[in-house]
Structure 1
Amino acid sequence: MLSGHPDAAEFERELMMQDDASALGRPGVDRFDIDALVDDLVPVRRLRMRDGLAIALATMALCALAIAFSLGVRGDLANGAPNWMFILRSATLLMLGITAAAAALSSATPSVGGARQAFWKWSLGFAAIFPLGAAFVWVSDFRAIEGARSALDPAYGMQCLQMSTLCAAFVGTAMTLWMKRGAPVSPTRTGWLVGLASGSLGAAAYSIACSENVVMYIGTWYTLTIAGCAIAGRLIVPQVLRW
């Protein structure tokens, strides 16, 4: 009945394609060539968290060397007999920096499970002994007020804040550039962690030149440095890592 209709042939072809189970999608539109897609693939080097961590630690080490050459090294450290407070301070900063960096860098390579990402919380809790200790000394020992004048004097601790923050900027930049190659699932959380890690590692780099062993000084200026870097990381890093 439709043989004489000008559109009969086109109509019959459409009916045949609708009955053909092998015809998927719209003809000529939804089909694609798998071989052509494979030919366009380019090998990409796998991201490894340990590589990013090595970059962060290497950047910190370079900052520490620059500080050692420009500002010198603590006398007790140069003599090979570091004060116990320096050892405790440096170990705490390194522990917090490494665990926070591992958690941040791990977010660039999402995977099942995340036990290692919780270690930074324990490190942060341990590091809190310095600001809490400073607050305790301030409240319980009125004689500490006289010593706190120098510890809290901006002209006295500004070098700590400036140099530690400068080192943190280099470490944080290196970490962020490395993570741009990955796919951070939570840029906001990653920003906090990058700031926390870079602030801790930057402070650890400056620590070799800092001669202060007073808990009031450490609990004030080092805490300000790390807190400020964490806030900066929260504000800056998510903008850079945005997909």
Structure 2
Amino acid sequence: MTDAMSSLYPFLYDAEDGGRSADAVLDEVRRSTVDKAREIMALRRRVHREQGALLAACGAAMAERFSRGGRLFCFGNGGSSTDAADLATQFLDPPQGRTPLPAFALTAEAAVVTALSNDVGFDLVFSRQLAAFGRKDDLAVGLSTSGNSANLLTAFDQAHRIGMLTIGITGDGGGRMAELDSIDYLFRVPSSSVHRVQEAQTTIYHVLAELAAEGAR
């Protein structure tokens, strides 16, 4: 195994000319991994401590909308787009014993996303879909690490005009999302690290999914 590793990554095993030994590099990797794990655990505990009541209130509001026949629309850009799709999946394909609930990721249809981006502009790629599909009993959840994505801002304003329940999940100070009056519940992960923010956001929306599903029974 060592021979195979050294052939692929010779710099890890060459201690000459000031290079570090493999053991030293691996020790550094282990320390870094442990530090990151401790950091995200502490961040998740802080979010629970500071925003636990908001999570409970939001989960109850989501459950109430679902019980009235509401549907969930999720959206985000880049990695947040993947998180939005994961959130929709939590409702459509829940753990055994839970009832599936209607949820849709607005980035799922490549033809729709590219057509709207090309014809009317990327800033409207989510708001146009909400204008077409959204109803007042529905829910809109937007994810952004910075809180500054223009297409999320216009989507929240559109959802608010329709009467949808609006939920924002962002990082650090919340960016421009924190300035909106069109977001009913805003969760902010208190970190400037995109990686830590996304990891904690995942915890937030999984908790919301569990609370909403339990309450909508």
TM-score (norm 2): 0.28
Which structure has the bigger radius of gyration?
1
Which structure carries more strand by proportion? 2
TM-score (norm 1): 0.26
Which structure carries more helix by proportion? 1
Report which structure shows greater RCO (CA 8 Å, sep ≥6). Answer: 1
